Amino acid sequence: MKTKVLKSILPVFAILLVVGFAFATEADAFLNTGYIQGPSGPIEVQVDCESEIPDACLYLDQQVFEDPEYTTPMTKSQP
């Protein structure tokens, strides 16, 4: 009786464990760090600028830069 219950519950538990771990990834892992011009200096922002379009990467309608000195603009065609 115990083995019959164990054999039926164990696969269900394993499937629930796998589904739980599948959704346990961090969303920030897919974002790039960039900088926009703020009123008192650079503001660090997290953006998703990876696409096939070589357009400027924008955050709140402002150009995003790769460094806080605003020397390298970030584009959407980054690898």
* Better-predicted residue by pLDDT, 77 or 13: 13
Give all strands (DSSP E) within 1-79, no chain letters: 32-38, 41-47, 58-59, 62-63
Give the pTM.
0.58
Residue 45 to residue 31: CA distance in whole angstroms: 9
Task: Write down the pLDDT at residue 72.
Answer: 87
Residue 78 has pLDDT above 50, yes or no: no
79 falls within a domain: no
- Considering its fold, how many domains does the chain have in total? 1
Taking alpha carbons only, the member of 37, 63, 39 closest to residue 49 is 63
Question: Which range of residues forms the domain containing residue 50?
Answer: 2-63
User: Model confidence over 3-61: pLDDT tens digits?
Assistant: 777 777 888 888 888 887 777 665 545 788 899 999 999 999 998 876 666 788 899 99
74 falls within a domain: no
* Better-predicted residue by pLDDT, 63 or 24: 63
49 falls within a domain: yes
With a CB cutoff of 8 Å and minimum separation 6, the contacts of 54 are 75, 76, 77
| 71 Rama class: left (phi>0) / alpha (psi -120 to 50) / beta | alpha
